[in-house]
Amino acid sequence: MEDSRDRVRISGDVHGQVVVGDHNIVVSAEQSVVTILTPAQRPECRRRDDPQLLPRRHRTAVGREEELAAIEAGMDAGGPMQVYGPSGTGKSTLLRMAAHRLSGRRDGVVFVDAASRDTGDVLQDVFEACYDAPGYRPGAIELRRLMANVGISLVLDDLECSSAELDVVLDTVTAAAVLYSAAQRSLWGEGPTLPLGGLGHDDASALLAQQLGRPLRADELPVAAELWRATAGSPGQLLRAVAEERLHHPAELADLLPNVLAELTAAEQEVLSLLDLAGAGGVSPGLLTALVAGPEQTTGAEETAGAAAAADSYERLVTLGLVVPTVLGLRISADVGAALPARLDLDTAALTALCERLRHWVEGPDRSPVGVAGDGALITAAIDAAARAGAAGAAAGLARAAAPVVACSLRLGVWGRVLELGRTAAERARDHGALAYLTHEQGIHRLVTGRRAAAAAAFAAAAEIWRRLGDSGHAGTAEDAGDLCGPDTGSASQPTGQESAAPQDATAGQEGTAPQDATAGHESTASQDPTAGQDAGSTGDFGTEFAQDPSGGLSSMPPVDPATATAAGAKGVTAAGVKGGLGLTAKVVIGGGLAVVTGVGVVLGQRALAPETVPVQVTVTTRVVEVSMPEGKQDDCLIQDGSTDCTSVVMSKKGERGPIGVEPTGPLPEGASILYWGCDEGPEATSCTVRADSARTVCVSTTSPADKAARETCAEETGAPPPKVRTEAVTVVAVDATGEARQGYTVVDRTGPEDSVLGCLTSPAAKSPDIVYCSPNAATADVCWVKDDRTTLLCGDDPWKKRLLQYVVNDGPVPATGPETEPIPWAMELADGTRCRLRTGGAGTSLPEEMVVMYYCGDTSIIVAQGPRTPLLDTSAPGWTVQTMDEAAVLRGDDSIPPRTEVVKVYYAGRD
């Protein structure tokens, strides 16, 4: 009989068929289908002879011969090598020239623009340049095998990634000589680095002359010298100083950019608006032309003329220093976006129109999936911006049109962003058909990237939505897809940003399913973990309406019937759960055996399988949850009042290796997770395995702030370094369900006509609906809870004062608002105790590296800054960090940038 799991139901237009790792995907506009391949069924990969993927040739880079010679020497030595420096120093130009210089030196040259792209997608570009294997994206291990002997010169422009992602790239292309650029140095001890600064005086004068197209006159030489000093020799700033065929004095530089922007044509302004929306990812010239010229071109001659006019506009924008050409297209210069006038911002109507035009472009005949993915920066930015601006329907429509096309490109990073942002838009638009489709496709994305428990949750949620819509066919296919899901085993393909960066946890299938602690009070806290917030596949992603428990049926171990517990334990049988009326309340897996405690006290303990055994001591110490322990626990074991302080010893067969897993008897506090010390994975691991070669000690606690002392105890008992600082996230709920102030808060009335506020939009710190930011800035109305009448607000001074300012909105009622997709903290506390609050208005001090002031810190001169290359919050470690600056020192002319500062607590705004 045919296995029902082998049946494939496909409906809608089939966009293509691709293979990711061991997964075959038939991509459809209504519902894609994934099946599992054996290694023998993988597509054939044919190695290309002498692969060449070079950028266009660039004119000679003035004053960079020494740097080019240093690059050639470093690459001849085998690399890796990094070029780093701030925006405007000419890194991209230098790397393009270097790529041509390196041609013929090794087995080929591959140049890839990595700006704002996931490293997994970048590696797919490299793979496709070196192999002919249409429709195939190898898994991580297979890719390393295929690239092991590919000795190319690999040039990666603007590779901004974490150290872990950089390691993945370098470990994948071990035979290649790698040259890459980034804003900050990230290569340490593995190869030469080349800091790229400004040009010298003579070279700066030569660059100005080149831009003018003639030698400098005698009266221009002093101006050139002043410009060199004022710009520190930055090529980008020097080029902008040449306008209208003359040199501008340094005193004119501040007004030069606003004046240039004011004189642009309407088409040029539209180009800048689109490029600003796309950010560092840029936009291809073809898409720009299609969007700016519009669909009105009716004849071939008109289309050719429109394309020629667009090309002239692009050339002018490049000449003015407003736009930077890249391998893939054009992107806005780093400092131009912040200077664009508000009138160039896209409003709701413009974003709606943009989504419709992008959808029309994506659905065009013969549209290349790789080309569409190449313009993923604009597509995803348009989806996000439109959903935020109230055009969620258009955003969801664009996501649904783009998703199957991008899936066929095999650029999983772009595909994942389209699905995630599109699903958010569909939720806001209440478009359940699009929501079901995008949720199902997200399940496939997570399955092929090794996130099986998260994939199961997505498939279950999609099936539930389709059943509520009366579509049993699609629901059945989603349920069939869920049958392919097992325990998470790590990424099945190259890393794709956050989704593949998180370590896998044996208990990951239960993330997000714990109910809220009813005793938690009015402020919910979450101690942050390296993986916290990264698992976009937790059931919480799909909302309570459609959430399913993904843990059922996903265990890698067979269940145990309590009736056979004694026999199973005597035979040393490994078990993972208990079915029947008793119900599993806790388990501790140790080595090759298992101890399971049920609600009525049924215990399975491992019996010695050989005379030679060693003790594995497991200590659970936590103040936030109770954990039942197996037999052999110490006499003074305390498991009560929601806490656990207990040690148990289980004898394991010597030399046996296996997992240790702890599941508490009740829900953990929101955001908290289990941590292990003394395991093979190292201290503070999210999963644990041990080899019982000798006596072992394992200590278990949680990431909760209440367990700070417990974590210190675990580190001490296992000889580990002191625990990492962990940032605590606090959601402040200052009002009750009706919007009235909670007990303990003082309300200050400011409802007079001189104190009214207006123009209310979603607060940047909002984690819940109906928390808004209103003008004017002087009102400090950036975190305001909307009352039931929708014209009265209660606004918080800061999260530490129990004071709320009551305002009346003079252009009300306030429309319903949702939470921010990526909220930023209302306030934060630094490691030294300094308190910083989100900036509300004010010009702010001019900072180096194009940074801007984001937070002022009490009565001190310390500020928290953010910039194009300086993230506000670095959440890659348990202790988040921010970039602080001493504003007084900056005003004195000190532009040095200190190390980032750890944050111990961040505050957001929410409501019940």
pLDDT band with cut points at 50, 70 and 90 for residue 756: confident
Out of 38-52, 550-564, 634-648, least confident range: 550-564
Lowest mean pLDDT among 273-277, 313-317, 555-559: 555-559
Write out the H or E segment, with its range, that includes residue 30.
none
Contact between 499 and 420 (Cβ < 8 Å): no
**Distance from chain centroid for Cα 802:** 34
Work out the percent of the chain whose per-residue pLDDT is above 70. 81
The whole-number average pLDDT for the span 621-633 is 79
Q: Of 286, 290, 379, 282, whose CA–CA distance to 333 is shortest?
A: 282
pLDDT band at 564 (very low <50, low <70, confident <90, very high): very low
Q: What one-character-per-residue DSSP string does 105-129 give?
A: SSS-EEEEE-TT--HHHHHHHHHHH
pLDDT higher than 70, residue 303: no
Where residue 709 falls among pLDDT bands split at 50, 70, 90? confident
The region of weakest confidence among 323-327, 411-415, 745-749 is 323-327
pLDDT, position 198: 83
Measure the CA–CA gap between 53 and 155, rounded to whole angstroms.
10
pLDDT at 188: 81
pLDDT at 375 over 90: yes
Q: Residue 346: which residues within 8 A CB-CB, separation 6 or more?
A: 273, 277, 354, 385, 389
Q: Pick from 536, 544, 537, 557: which is nearest to 456 by CA? A: 537
| Mean pLDDT score across all residues of the chain | 79
Percent of the chain with pLDDT over 90: 33
Mean predicted confidence (pLDDT) in 492-518: 37
- SS3 assignment, position 633: strand
Least confident of 257-261, 292-296, 455-459, 519-523: 519-523
Judged by DSSP in three states, 663 sits in strand
Q: Which residue has the higher pLDDT, 228 or 857?
A: 857
Contact criterion met (CB below 8 Å) for 849 and 897: yes
Integer Cα distance of 215 and 208 in angstroms: 9
Rounded to a whole number, what is the largest CA-CA distance in the chain? 99
Virtual torsion, Cα 451, 491, 185, 188, nearest 10 deg: 130
What integer pLDDT is reported at residue 579 of this predicted model?
25
Contacts of 891 (CB under 8 A, 6+ apart): 845
Q: First and final CA of the chain: distance in angstroms?
A: 53
Q: How many CB atoms lie within 10 A of CB 797?
A: 15
Q: For the CA atoms of the chain, what is the radius of gyration? A: 29
pLDDT over 50 at 527, yes or no: no
pTM greater than 0.85: no
Q: What is the tens place of the pLDDT at every residue in 510-519?
A: 333 333 333 3
Confidence of residue 87 (pLDDT cuts 50, 70, 90): confident
Other beta carbons within 10 Å of 171: 11
The pLDDT value given to residue 531:
33
Is residue 630 reached through a cis peptide bond, with omega within 30 degrees of 0 on the bond before it? no
**pLDDT attached to residue 334:** 76
CA distances, 66 to each of 158, 177, 199, 866 (Å): 21, 20, 12, 33
Q: Given this model, what pLDDT does residue 844 score?
A: 75
Residue 896 pLDDT greater than 50, yes or no: yes
Among candidates 250, 285, 233, 261, which has minimal Cα distance to 86? 233
Give per-residue pLDDT as tens, 393-438. Answer: 999 999 999 999 999 999 999 999 999 999 999 999 999 999 999 9
Vertex 776 angle, CA 774 and 778, to 5°: 115
- Containing 5, the helix (H) or strand (E) segment is none
Residues 779-803: what's their mean pLDDT? 93
Q: Which among 376, 370, 378, 324 is positioned nearest to 96, based on CA atoms? A: 324
Lookup: tokens for 893:
């002319």
- Which are the contacts of 166, defined by CB distance < 8 A and separation ≥ 6? 119, 159, 186, 187
